[in-house]
Structures are given as structure tokens and as C-alpha cells.
Amino acid sequence: MAKNEKLFDMFSPTSTEDWVAKINVDLKGADFNKKLVWRTNEGFEVQPFYRRDDLKEIPHMGTLPGQFPYVRGTRDNNDWLIRQQIQGNTPEELNKEALHVIDRGVDSIGVHLSKDVTYSDMETIFNDIDLKKVEVNISCCMGKAVEVAKLFVEYLTARGAVEDFRGSIDFNPFKRLLKHGLPFPKDLKAEAIALYDVVKPVKNLRCFAVDSFMLNNAGAYITQELGYALSWGAEWMTLLTEAGLTPCEASSRIKFNMGISSNYFMELAKFRAARMLWAEIVKAYGAEDECCKMMVHAVTSQFNQTIYDAHVNLLRSQTETMSAALAGVDSIETLPFDLQYKKPDEFSERIARNQQLLLREESHLNKVVDPAGGSYYIEHLTASIAKVAWELFCKTEEEGGFLSLLEKGEIQKKVNESGVKRHIDVARRKEILLGTNQYPNFNEKALDKIEKDGCACGCGCSAEVTDGAVEALNFDRAASQFEQLRLDTERSGKRPKVFMLTIGNLAMRLARAQFSANFFGCAGYEIIDNIGFNSVKEGVDAALEKGADVVVLCSSDDEYATYAPEAFKELAGRAMFVIAGAPACMDELKAQGIEEFIHVRVNVLDTLVKFNAKLLK
């Protein structure tokens, strides 16, 4: 090869059409769209491959980090803040915990202040904390934001931290409608302006919250959370500008607190799309480019956290944290893995903050701005998510805006519908929760480790709708129904035995035994697996000797026509009989009295509920 010859000059260009033609040859007649195109729940399709040509129609291509519309980030660095919520029953305990976590790498703290907090409490809580370096984010009881803000601003002034402080007061008057279906009890506009007047001297104190993580925790899809978050933010912009604030004054006080689901690339793209769309919205109000920057705090999801196999929550939250970090958010809170069944302890809180410290100090994700920029796949996801979320935003605005639809319960209803669909997908294993509806730890017990008050499953009861209220969000986690099923097994004092009667074709019997073990393990049953039997009678005898409550025949479809009737007759009702699979002879077998078949198309949850009803009597 000549010295100046480029390697790829030796190959002729390959068009997208050529690639598709080659793929169709390899598919051997299977439909390309059905086989390879991913139809997402977010409302758009994802192709199996992307090329440079796919970026030509994306308008934000060519912009740099820090440039409008900020899809690539609002800063010239990617150094996010690590937040942790501090716990304590007294001001002294809160201060001790805050100093403890700050000393261990946290540079942003969250603290909930009670309704009767005093200036003296402020002095105690924030004693010895460098408020010029540590971000402070305060939440308080409903209707107390102005009172708390007055005390906090007074304290910041006394500390000489007004100019350098950064943080937030979470004023979320929409929370009552979202959680309980009840409106804010005060004049919203008057309360908002009163709060603004109080915090005005502190430039970097944001106070108007867009807490869309609540939608995430209720099971909203990614585009749904983003679309409603944008409408929520626009509600603040309209309310504040109509009250006399300039667009820059309004936008500089709004903070987005968004959730992160475990859909890694989608979430990364969501935050990029969010910045871009929010910049366009604020620009439409007449704000300067600098005022169109979105401030985003991201918190890992509670919707996909589990009680059983809880350490898997660490894996989920790690990928969630990583996607948010790579997306360039301003701060992240990684929730402790044991949050759903107990008050997090020193170990779980340490691990949670170290998850972020590892990404920052060891993986150096803070060193590269927008590392996903230019990726054909992620740029296309960003544009696709933006398109669907924008359509939802426009529809919400056309129908009266965020607050109007909240007061009618429409937004809560739409999010709850998504939550119901996701629960059904979990029940049918279309959405996987490792350790819960797939690959459970068969022998794990959880009843004794649940310390939280509330519903029996430890998932937190959903708010009840009272007279005169609209529909509220349902915060039942994705795993809650499976966990209830398994806890029912534990409480019963019984543990049904499921025996795998493996016979015939080696590959099929092993595969179906594994499938069946995972299936019944989701209910906490004892699984008795076997290598294989030489005859049906030998297998049945072994099952009865073990005291099996359920016998699962595991073989190939072709062999079921012979083995199933023989096993059913030999068992003679001494245990429940199940066939692993959906053989072509299923109707003939049903005609002989065989009723139970488990396979990939059945609703796992409903099936196990039915088994529990029979076995736990």
C-alpha cells in the first residue's frame, strides 16, 4: 500500500440500501421490520443500525457544549454534584450526618425541615458547613416554603454566603394533586411571588420545582415524564411572567428534579433532549440564550427497586447513575439499595455515594463533556425522544396546560395507565426485573427484614382518593405484586415443593426445567431439579418420595403426546401436574384432563396467584 494511500479508499462505499439487502438475505425470508425493528413503549421505533446519513435531518448537529440549545450540555465541563439526603430527628443529628457525608465526598446535601423550624435550628443544622462550597437543597412541609426561605436567606446573609451559595428550596404546590388528588390550599400565584421576593437576594437559590421524578416513580415512560416535565416548567414560566417577572427572572429560579429509569441509552438521550426542548420553550418567552439553560437534578428510580434480591438494586442504580452522568446533568442522587424495606443504614448510604465517586474518581466520567455526542444511535434517540415528548407537551398546552389537566386528574390518569401496562408487562415477563420475575433467589426470605411501616409488601401504599379529590398517582413499584405473592408464601408457613420430572430429549428437558424452576421460584417455592429419568414411573415415584406438591413434566413437544398422558395417569391426582411448554398436542392433552401448561406466553403472576390459592390453603 502506498505511503499516502488511505485504507478505506480500497473499498467502495456501501449504501444503506446495500446493508438492508444483505441483512434481508441473512434473515432468510423473515420480515425485517418484525424481526429487527424495536417498537419502543416510548412511542417511536428504533432501527437495528444507524449511519451518518441518519444525522442529516437532525437540526442540533454541529452545536458545541455550552451553546444554545444546550443539547450537548450547559457547561464546558461535566463535573456533576453528588447529592445525598441526610437523615436525623433533631438539628444536632442532621448536622452530624451532614458533616459525616461531606467528609466522605458528598458536595450536595438534601435536608427536610419540619414546619416549626427556627433560626436557631438553622444555625445548628448548618454549623461548620461551608455554604460557599456545598450545595444545600431544602424541602419542607406543604405551605411552609416562604417561612423556611425567610429563615434560610437570613441565615445565608449572616454567614456572608449570599453571593457564592448555590442550592434550592423545593416549592412544589402540585405535589398534593399528584399524591393525593387535592389542590394547593393557598393562592398559588401569590405564594409563588412571595417566595420569589424572599429568595431574590440569593442569586443561585432556585425555588420553583419540577419534580418529575414523581412521574417516574409512578411508572411513567421516558417520553411521558419529559413531556409533562416540560409542561410543568412552562406552567411556572407562564405563572411567574404573568405576575410581573421577566423571562430570565423566572427561568433562573426553576429547577428540574427528574427520575432515571434503567433504560440506559434512552435515559442518556432524555436529558440531552430535555435541555434542548427547555431552551426552546424559554426562548419563546423572550429570554436571552444564557437564561435558557436548564438546571437538572437526577435521582435514581424507585419504581424498579425490589425487596427480594435487593443487591440487584445496586446494579440498576449504577447504570442509571452512569447514564445521567454521561448526559451532563448538574447533580445526581443515587438511592440506597435497601430503601424499600428499611431506613438506609451507614453501609447502604456509603455504597450509594461511592457508586458516584467511583464514576467520578476512578472512571473519570467528569473529564469528557458530552461523550455521547455524534453517536449515530444516541443522536437519533435524542431526536426521537424530543419529537414524541414535544408532541405530548404541545397536546398538554392545547388542552389547557399542566395545572388545568392536573386539577382534572388527566395527567395522573395517563401516568397510571402507563404504570398498569408496565405491571402487566412485568407479570408477563415482557419487562424483566432480575431476582423478582426472572432468575429469583429461590431460597431467599424477606419477611423478617422488612422494617418499614405501611402496606404489607413494603412498597408504600398509594394515596387514597377522598371525596372531592381527583385521581392520584399510584406509586406501587413494578415488583410489588410479585413481592406480595412471595410474602404470602412466607406468611403461610408452607413452602410448596415443585419437582422437575425431566425425561426424553436432553437439551429440551434441561431448558424447560430451568424455565420452570425460574417460573415457580418467583413464588418462593422449593425447587427440586433432576438430571433425568429413564421412565415416567421412575420420575413419578421419585416425586412422590420427595413429597412434591407440583410435578412439572419437562421434555420435548414431540414426546409430550406419549409422556404426558402416562405421567398424568401415574400421578393420579396425588400432586398438581404441569407441562412445561405449549405443544401442538395441547388440546388433545386438555381433553384428557391435563389443565396446567406454563410457557413464555402465559401471565406468570396470574398463574402463580392461582397456584398459591390452591397450595397455601
Residue 198 resides in a domain: yes
Q: What does the pLDDT read at residue 455?
A: 40
Q: What does the pLDDT read at residue 116?
A: 86
User: Is the pLDDT score of 458 beyond 90?
Assistant: no
Q: Are residues 448 and 531 in the same domain?
A: no
Tell me how far apart the alpha carbons of residues 172 and 191 are, in angstroms, rounded to a whole number.
Answer: 11
Report, as an integer, the average pLDDT of 526-542.
97
Selected residue with higher pLDDT from 462 and 249: 249
Q: Are residues 202 and 296 in the same domain?
A: yes
> Which has the closest alpha carbon to 415: 213, 220, 261?
220
Q: Are residues 415 and 534 in the same domain?
A: no
pLDDT tens digits for range 186-195: 999 999 999 9
Q: Are residues 433 and 498 in the same domain?
A: no
pLDDT tens digits for range 53-76: 899 889 888 899 999 999 999 999
Residue 25 resides in a domain: no
Ranking 341-355, 376-390, 461-475, 534-548 by mean pLDDT, the lowest is 461-475
| Count of the separate structural domains present in the chain | 3
Residue 304 resides in a domain: yes
Among candidate residues 488, 517, 540, the one where a domain is terminated: 488
Q: Are residues 312 and 403 in the same domain?
A: yes
Selected residue with higher pLDDT from 142 and 323: 323
Q: Are residues 578 and 553 in the same domain?
A: yes
User: Is the pLDDT score of 30 beyond 50?
Assistant: yes
Q: Are residues 599 and 462 in the same domain?
A: no
pLDDT tens digits for range 116-166: 899 999 999 999 999 999 999 999 988 899 999 999 999 999 999 999 999
> Which has the closest alpha carbon to 115: 149, 94, 137, 141?
141
Q: What does the pLDDT read at residue 108?
A: 98
User: What is the rounded (10 degree) CA torsion for 172, 210, 342, 181?
Assistant: 50
CATH number for position 572: 3.40.50.280
Q: Are residues 206 and 345 in the same domain?
A: yes
Q: What does the pLDDT read at residue 453?
A: 61
Residue 270 resides in a domain: yes
Three-state helix/strand/coil letters over 184-199: CCCCHHHHHHHHHHHH
CB atoms within 10 A of CB 58: 16
Report, as an integer, the average pLDDT of 377-382.
97
Q: Are residues 234 and 256 in the same domain?
A: yes
Q: Return mean pLDDT, the chain.
A: 95
Helix or strand run (H / E) with residue 550? strand 550-554
User: Is the pLDDT score of 425 beyond 80?
Assistant: yes
Q: What does the pLDDT read at residue 142?
A: 84
User: Is the pLDDT score of 327 beyond 70?
Assistant: yes
User: Is the pLDDT score of 8 beyond 60?
Assistant: yes
**197: domain range?**
81-408
Q: Are residues 350 and 478 in the same domain?
A: no
Q: What does the pLDDT read at residue 14?
A: 86
User: Is the pLDDT score of 339 beyond 70?
Assistant: yes
Report, as an integer, the average pLDDT of 267-272.
98
Asked whether the beta carbons of 544 and 574 are under 8 A apart, the reply is: yes
Among candidate residues 360, 384, 408, the one where a domain is terminated: 408
The distance of Cα 249 from the centroid of its chain, to the nearest Å, equals 32
Residue 352 resides in a domain: yes
CB atoms within 10 A of CB 47: 17
Residue 53 resides in a domain: no
User: Is the pLDDT score of 9 beyond 90?
Assistant: no
pLDDT tens digits for range 401-418: 999 999 999 999 999 999
pLDDT tens digits for range 557-589: 999 999 999 999 999 999 999 999 999 999 999
Q: Are residues 461 and 550 in the same domain?
A: no
Residue 69 resides in a domain: no
The pLDDT > 90 percentage for the chain reads: 92
Residue 596 resides in a domain: yes
Tell me how far apart the alpha carbons of residues 356 and 372 are, in angstroms, rounded to a whole number.
Answer: 19
Q: Are residues 201 and 108 in the same domain?
A: yes
pLDDT band at 468 (very low <50, low <70, confident <90, very high): low
> Which has the closest alpha carbon to 153: 139, 167, 174?
167
Asked whether the beta carbons of 230 and 281 are under 8 A apart, the reply is: yes
Tell me how far apart the alpha carbons of residues 525 and 527 are, in angstroms, rounded to a whole number.
Answer: 6
CATH number for position 278: 3.20.20.240
Among candidate residues 439, 466, 488, the one where a domain is terminated: 488
